[in-house]
Amino acid sequence: MSPADAALAAPECFHCGDYESVHLFAEAAEKDPSTEILNDLGYAQQTCGHMQEAERSFREALTIAPDNTQAPINLGALPFNKGKIEAAAHWLERASPRSKPLAAPLYAAPSSTASLSRTC
């Protein structure tokens, strides 16, 4: 599958509940990394409970584009979802000067991660 095909297929599979699509995101990011694909990969990894991999993907997105606003929002959400507000604030403040109002980040904490972690 081409990187473009994997990048197109992954979000559709993921939003339909197919968490194996993490592999499609990873394939697309490996062949043709972009901040959008890396943020999507990180979100998929986070949803599946792979927090270190998610953090790595978000940080790689920032390496490619230091002015990217979505990656620091996503990095802030990781500690925020654990109740670590001060750690989250560092990343969220980094994103806010360049970003539009934080209406809806790419992802929100799922209401129940127990069922998601079993499907990945």
- Does residue 69 lie in a domain region? yes
- Does residue 86 lie in a domain region? yes
- Return the biggest CA–CA distance within the chain: 42
Q: CA-CA distance, 111 to 72, in Å (whole number)?
A: 22
- Does residue 23 lie in a domain region? yes
- Does residue 119 lie in a domain region? no
How distant, in Å, are the alpha carbons of 76, 99, 115 from that of 23? 24, 29, 19
Q: Give the chain's domain count.
A: 1
pLDDT for residue 24: 78
Among residues 29, 26, 20, the alpha carbon closest in space to that of 48 is found at 20
- Does residue 25 lie in a domain region? yes
Given a cut of 70, whether residue 5 has pLDDT beyond it is no
User: Which domain does 63 fall in, by range?
Assistant: 3-97
pLDDT tens, position by position, 43-57: 888 888 889 999 999
pLDDT for residue 33: 85
Measured at the CA of 60, the angle between CA 105 and CA 72, to 5 degrees, comes to 30
Q: CA-CA distance, 104 to 83, in Å (whole number)?
A: 19
Helix (H, G, I), strand (E, B) or coil at 114: helix
Measured at the CA of 81, the angle between CA 78 and CA 83, to 5 degrees, comes to 115
Q: CA-CA distance, 118 to 77, in Å (whole number)?
A: 21
pLDDT for residue 112: 39
What CATH number corresponds to the domain at position 7? 1.25.40.10
- Does residue 35 lie in a domain region? yes
- Does residue 110 lie in a domain region? no
- Does residue 106 lie in a domain region? no
Rg of the chain, C-alpha, whole Å:
14
pLDDT tens, position by position, 66-105: 988 899 999 999 999 899 988 888 888 887 765 454 444 4
